[in-house]
Amino acid sequence: MKLTIVGTGYVGLVTGVGFANLGNDVICLDVDRGKIAMLESGELPIYEPGLSEIFERNVAAGRLKFTTDVMQAIDDGEIIFICVGTPPGTSQAADLTAVEETAAAIGRYIKGYKVIVNKSTVPVGTAEKVRAVIRQHQQNDVPFDVVSNPEFLREGAAVKDFENPDRIILGTDSKRSEEIMTSLYRALARTGRPIMITDIKSAEIIKYASNAMLATRISFMNQLAHLCEATGADIQSVSKGIGLDGRIGSRFLHAGLGYGGSCFPKDVKALIATLKEFGCEADLLEAVDRVNEQQKFLAIEKLEKTLSIQNSTVAIWGLSFKPKTDDIREAPAIKIIEALQEKGANIHAYDPVAIPNAKKFLKEVRYFSNPYEAIRDCDALIVATEWDEFRNLDMRAVKVLLKRPILIDGRNVYDSGEMREQGFTYLGIGR
C-alpha cells in the first residue's frame, strides 16, 4: 500500500519506518525542513534502539522517502496517518492545532478516496473535528473516512512494540475503511496479536485510559513508598508481594522519582480536562498527577537531610525520563537539576545518550562522557534514570571518587544493604 505519514517525531518516524519494513511504500511529511533534510541525509533526529538499521534498509530499498511537499504527499497516500504533536494547551487539554492544520491541508489537496488515520493521541471527539475540518476545506465533494488507530509505542522499545503489538485498536464507522486498515495490519496480526474493531470514540478513549491506568499504578506505589519509609518496610518487597497476585501483575509497580516523558504527564492532564469538559469528576486522576509532581522533588528532600545544598556539587546519573531513549520531556532529572541550581548547587551530569538534548534546556551544567568522571569530588550522587550500565559499575570506586559517600538512589537500582555495608549514606525510595 501507499502510505503518507504526517509528522516525523517518535510516533511518526517509527510508524513510517515500521510500515516500510513490512513492504509498503511510505512517504513521511513534515513542515520542518531541517528535520527532513537530516532524514534525507540518512541521519535520525531521535535515538531509538533498532530503528537505525531498518531505517537505512528501507531508504536503500526505495520504500521510505521524506518530503515537505504537502500537496504531493497527500495526493500519493492511499492511507494518511496523522502523527503530529498534541502538547498541553493553557487549560492542560490537548492542543489540536497541528491536527486541525493537517486536516485542513488534506481537505484542500484530496482528489480521491482516502483513509485518514488519527494516530496522534487525541481526546474523544477529535475524529469528528477532523472530518468537519476536511469537509470545510474541500473544493469538491471527495469521499474519505476517518479512523482512530491509537499508538502504544514505548520509547526505548518502540520498534519492538510496532512489530509485536499487544493489540491493534481500530476505531471506525465504515466497512470500507475497516477492510483497508485490517489488510494493512494483516502482517502484524499473523503474529497472533489481536485486531480489535470498535467505534471511533471508544478507540479515542482507550489510548488515554491506558496511559492513565499505568500512571495510576506508578503514583499508587510512590505514595505507598512514603508509608514504607515511615514504618521501616521495603517497597520492593511490597511491590513483589502485590505483583504476584494474578489479578494485579507486576508491571508498573515500581516506586521512584515519578513518571515523565511525552505521554503520561500530558495524557493524564488531558484526560482530566476531558472529564471536566463533559461534567465528570476527575479527583482520582488529579491525585495521580499531584502525587507524581511531588515525587520528582523527593530526591532533593532526601538530600537536604544529609547535606547543605548551597555551594555543594551534586552529580546526576541519567537525564532522560527513562532508559533507552534520549527524550528529556518531563524528565524528573531536569526538574531536580533546576531545583538544585535554585538552591545554589553546582551540577555534574552524565547520561549515555541524552546530553545533547539536555544542553538545549539546562544552563551552567558540567557534562561528562563517563559516569566515574561525573562524580569525581562531588558531595553527593543522585541516580535519576535506571540505565542498565549503572547496575554493574564498581561502586567501591564510586565511593572513593565521591567527596562524600552520599547516594540518592531515585530508581532503587542498588541493594540497600550492600551499599550501606560499603559505607554509603544510602537513601532509596520507600526503603
The catalytic residue positions are 263
Closest by CA to 102, choosing from 134, 125, 140, is 134
Residues whose CB falls within 8 Å of the CB of residue 238, separated by 6 or more in sequence, listed in order: 224, 228, 430
Q: What angle do CA 387, 390, 392 make, to 5 degrees?
A: 130
Q: Is the distance from CB of 319 to CB of 358 less than 8 angstroms?
A: yes
Burial class from Cβ neighbours inside 10 Å (0-12, 13-18, 19+) for residue 50 reads middle
**Cell 484526560 belongs to residue:** 271
Closest by CA to 407, choosing from 315, 344, 340, is 315
CA–CA dist 271, 362 (Å, integer): 30
Q: Is the distance from CB of 3 to CB of 17 less than 8 angstroms?
A: no
DSSP classification of residue 418 = H
313 backbone dihedrals φ, ψ, rounded to 5°:
-120, 120
Angle at which helices 126-137 and 200-231 pack, to 10 degrees? 140
Tell me the residue ranges of DSSP E strands in 91-223. 114-118, 144-148, 168-171, 195-198
C-alpha cell at 287: 491525585
**Residue 206 in 3-state DSSP?**
helix
C-alpha cell at 293: 509532581
Total number of residues shown for the chain: 431
Residue 308: half-sphere exposure toward Cβ, Cα within 13 Å: 2
CA–CA dist 358, 219 (Å, integer): 25
Measured from the Cβ of residue 268, the count of other Cβ atoms closer than 10 Å reads: 25
Start-to-end CA distance of the chain, whole Å, equals 53
C-alpha cell at 424: 554509603
Written as one string, the DSSP assignment of 73-110 is HHHH-SEEEE-----B-TTSSB--HHHHHHHHHHHHH-
Q: How far is CA 92 from the centre of its chain?
A: 17
